[in-house]
Amino acid sequence: MDRTDEAGAALHARFAALRDALSEEIIGQAALVERLLVALLADGHLLVEGAPGLAKTTAIRALAARLDTEFARVQFTPDLLPADLTGTEIWRPQDGRFEFQAGPIFHPLLLADEINRAPAKVQSALLEAMGERQVTVGRETYRLPDLFLVMATQNPIEQEGTFPLPEAQLDRFLMHVRVGYPEADTEARILQLARRRARAQLDDVHAAVERMPLDLLFQARRAVLDLHMAPAVERYLVELVLASRDAGRYDASLAARIAWGASPRGSIALERCARALAWLSGRDFVTPDDVRRVAPDVLRHRVLPSYEATAEGWDGERLVQALLDRVPLP
């Protein structure tokens, strides 16, 4: 094994250790841990939907504790203002000038808790930051950090007092992940973990956590982009996205159920996520199974059902699964 291979193996081992450490702290949410690392490697943002108490906040906190960077949490509410997120200019009378006071959005890792409770103006401010990696306040534009990951959560139970995310905002998210309740054995392990944490707090014990330098993360991102993707796999990926826009080539009834298909941003997201998943799996090439595994999370919020389909109980996830069933493998 030459030095390049050794360095690549060591880099992958660091991320495998990171995944194991997160899985020990976030019990029963292996898919969420994996998708969080995929978003980190693919340089995208994550929308997580699930009932309260399913470790959504814990997941991003645990990741932040293991990266050599800063973390901020914003609780989105109906009275939140864009300036509460982006920051504002403060008058300094001693200097006779305005000084920009940066808001929490300038942190490399940002948890936007219950994002659908914020009004449209706040969502618009977040949209610019997620899409353009910059924030405009007054006449000035400020660049965001090289590492900038938004993990937004939304509660599917309560809809009163919420502002549904517009399609343009949803499309900015690399993936839309849904988390469910754990199994009985898993819940028992969660209770054991909660007791250990409570004892540690009573004993004032704080275990030291090794933090990964950001240069290793950027090296891993380059390694993900260098993975081999065969033309046949790339064509399969493209066919899945094209089928969401013109499903009539495979099933006329399915075409009538899709109001809007995925945009080219969906193709880019699907490719980046499939690459990241392949790299996390320890391979230097992408397979059709990698594409199929991430497709539901990448496309469920980008493939919109028609009114008739919604009335029949179809949603984006069911439509994506129908596409996966009909588009032939390479």
pTM of the model: 0.90
Taking only the tens place, the pLDDT of each residue in 121-164 is: 888 888 888 888 998 887 788 899 999 999 999 877 766 667 77
Plot region of 53 (φ>0 → left; ψ -120 to 50 → alpha; else → beta): left
Annotated domain spans of the chain: 3-202, 227-326
Distance between CA atoms of 80 and 96, rounded to whole angstroms? 29
DSSP bridge pairs for 134: 143
Give residue-wise pLDDT tens across range 48-83: 998 888 888 888 889 999 999 999 999 998 899 988
CATH domain 227-326 topology: Helicase, Ruva Protein; domain 3 (1.10.8)
Nearby residues of 271 by Cβ (< 8 Å), 6 or more positions away: 229, 234, 237
Query: How confident is the model at residue 34, as a pLDDT?
Result: 94
Cα–Cα dist 271/233, whole Å: 10
Q: Quote the pLDDT of residue 158.
A: 64
3-202 falls under which CATH superfamily? P-loop containing nucleotide triphosphate hydrolases (3.40.50.300)
CA distance 50 to 242: 29
DSSP per-residue string spanning 200-223: HHHTT-----PPBPHHHHHHHHHH
What pLDDT does 164 receive?
79
Strand blocks (E) in the chain? 46-49, 71-75, 87-92, 97-102, 109-113, 134-137, 140-143, 149-154, 175-178, 258-260, 304-305
Tokens standing for residue 183: 């199994």
Q: Is the dihedral of CA 23, 152, 131, 268 positive or negative?
A: positive
Q: How many CB atoms lie within 10 A of CB 201?
A: 10
Residues in the chain predicted with pLDDT less than 70, given as ranges, are 1-4, 158-161, 201-208
Give the pLDDT confidence score for residue 267 in this predicted structure.
96
